[in-house]
Amino acid sequence: MPDFDPPILIPPDQAECLGTLQPACQADPLSESDIRKALEQPLWPQATGPSMFSLIQPGESACLVVSDHTRKTAVDRILSVLLRGWMDNQCRLENLFILIASGIHRHPTPDEIRSILGAENAKVFEDRIFFHDPDDDRNLVTVGTTRRGHDVRVSRRAVEADRLILLGAATYHYHAGFGGGRKSIVPGLAARSTIAYNHSLTLDPEYNRIHPGVEIGKLDGNPVAEEMLEGARLCQPDGIINTVLSSDGTLVGVFAGDLIMAHRAACRLVENINRVDLDRSADFVIASAGLASTWIQCHKALFNATRAVKSEGRVILVAPCPEGLGNERFRYWVTRPAVEDIYAGLRKSPEVLGQTALSTRMRGSRTILVTHLSKGDRADLGIPTAPDVASAVCMVLEDFHKAGIRRPTYYLMPKALSLVPFPGR
């Protein structure tokens, strides 16, 4: 079910297939020597700078910030190389600790920790793995105020260590422009109030709409991304290591060094392998969310898929969601009586789950979902469903035929979770 099995066959006299959306280029998998080279030659504003192996000096404490279970980063491979390099440099492992940048997510389970760090690395750090808590005032500290006048509060552990190194993955992000980089701190290590303020910048201050500067793939001029960057810079991270993964989870890029330079370099690779430019938009798209376990994760595939169709185009989304909607706060938001109620609620209490619900409601009305969600979850989500792709196709074609469109166009999008279409202007 995650991919199109059996293959989708629509008679050409009923609809015109414009093709299968695929990345413009493929990147080669990285070897351990490739990883080591990237860590030995980081990107710094000055012509030369320290390697990631010499960034920590013997006797210094170091906070290694790692993404939680909701992000695939291949950090297990990076950590293994880093630890060998630091030990060669006479650093003591007991001076290093892991801080999980979980934002407002639940904390990962022991099994998930082993998956994130790798079993051997998790054992090395087993008594020095800490979880960020956005509501733990005793372990939060104010690091400064941004240009917009908002105080930034983050994990005390991160800023009190001698060295702060951020490990994450660069990806497309529908509000922040790109994941990775600055997002390891805000929202990753931020107080709930700091996270809420940042999320509030997603909305236009005057109209019930998303702020015009908030776009996927956009960092400059994006108020959400810019506020994140200010918050991260206030923490003065010593360096970052951002990975780039292909749609199947293969590590294809490692970029280390400066908070801005290394992140932007990683983002360029993300664009190369996950961006697809369209000459024309289709009437509908048949997309798959792959193995995403909850609707909150599958929503990214819906967001991406709608970018491939016309303003009134339709989406058929294969999204099994074996773990349900993913969060009860999301359920609260998505079941508000009207979209206007969601906007009003977000202006009072900005939450990322509310924004996901808003996007779901905005896009769900023209979507047909093929899913394993329970009857109750489907009802709360409010998106029409079909038992299989063939049935969903029949429903969509019938709607187009009633509208007088006898041979609608469509795309196939088997990697909708990672691939981002950019329609021609």
Give 281's contacts (C-beta < 8 A, 6+ positions apart).
308, 309, 310, 313, 423
Higher pLDDT, 424 or 317: 317
Measure Cα distances from 279 to 282, 301, 315, 330, 411 in Å. Answer: 10, 21, 19, 35, 12
425 confidence band (pLDDT: 50, 70, 90): low
Helix axes of 75-88 and 32-40: crossing angle, nearest 10 degrees? 60
Q: Which domains does the chain have, with CATH numbers?
A: 16-22+279-423 (3.90.226.30), 32-273 (3.40.50.11440)
Q: What is the DSSP letter of 93?
A: G
Task: Answer whether residue 314 shows pLDDT above 60.
Answer: yes
Q: Please, are residues 87 and 93 in contact by the beta-carbon 8 Å criterion? A: yes
Residue position matching structure tokens 């001029």: 221
| pTM, to two decimals | 0.92
Most confident region among 19-28, 312-321, 349-358 by mean pLDDT: 312-321
Question: Looking at residue 46, what is its pLDDT?
Answer: 87
Segment 229-239 mean pLDDT: 98
Question: Looking at residue 342, what is its pLDDT?
Answer: 97
- Pairing of β 282-288 and β 309-318: parallel
263 confidence band (pLDDT: 50, 70, 90): very high
Question: Looking at residue 1, what is its pLDDT?
Answer: 41
Segment 77-106 mean pLDDT: 95
Q: Taking the chain, what is the end-to-end CA distance rounded to the nearest angstrom? A: 34
Question: Looking at residue 3, what is its pLDDT?
Answer: 56
Most confident region among 43-52, 377-386, 415-424 by mean pLDDT: 377-386
The alpha carbon torsion through 219, 195, 329, 383 (nearest 10 deg) reads: -10
Q: What is the DSSP letter of 162?
A: S
Segment 72-77 mean pLDDT: 96
d(CA 342, CA 200) in angstroms, rounded, equals 13
Report pLDDT digits (tens) over 136-182. Answer: 999 999 999 999 999 999 999 999 999 999 999 999 999 999 999 99
Beta bridge partners, 241, equal 167, 256
Average pLDDT, the chain: 95
Question: Looking at residue 270, what is its pLDDT?
Answer: 97
109 confidence band (pLDDT: 50, 70, 90): very high
> Residue 321, by phi and psi: left (phi above 0), alpha (psi -120 to 50) or beta?
left
- Closest alpha carbon to 222 in 179, 193, 254: 179
Question: Looking at residue 8, what is its pLDDT?
Answer: 74
Separation of CA 31 from chain center: 25
Q: In b/e form, how buried is each residue of 22-61, taking b as 16+ CB within 10 angstroms? A: ebeeebeebeeeebbebbeebbeeeeebebbbebbeeeeb
Helix (H) or strand (E) holding 152: strand 151-155
Q: Please, are residues 178 and 270 in contact by the beta-carbon 8 Å criterion? A: yes
Phi, psi of 400 (to 5 degrees): -65, -40
2 confidence band (pLDDT: 50, 70, 90): very low
Task: Answer whether residue 131 shows pLDDT above 50.
Answer: yes
Phi, psi of 138 (to 5 degrees): -65, -25
Measure Cα distances from 120 to 108, 113, 123, 124, 248 in Å. Answer: 17, 11, 5, 6, 24
Residue position matching structure tokens 């700091």: 194
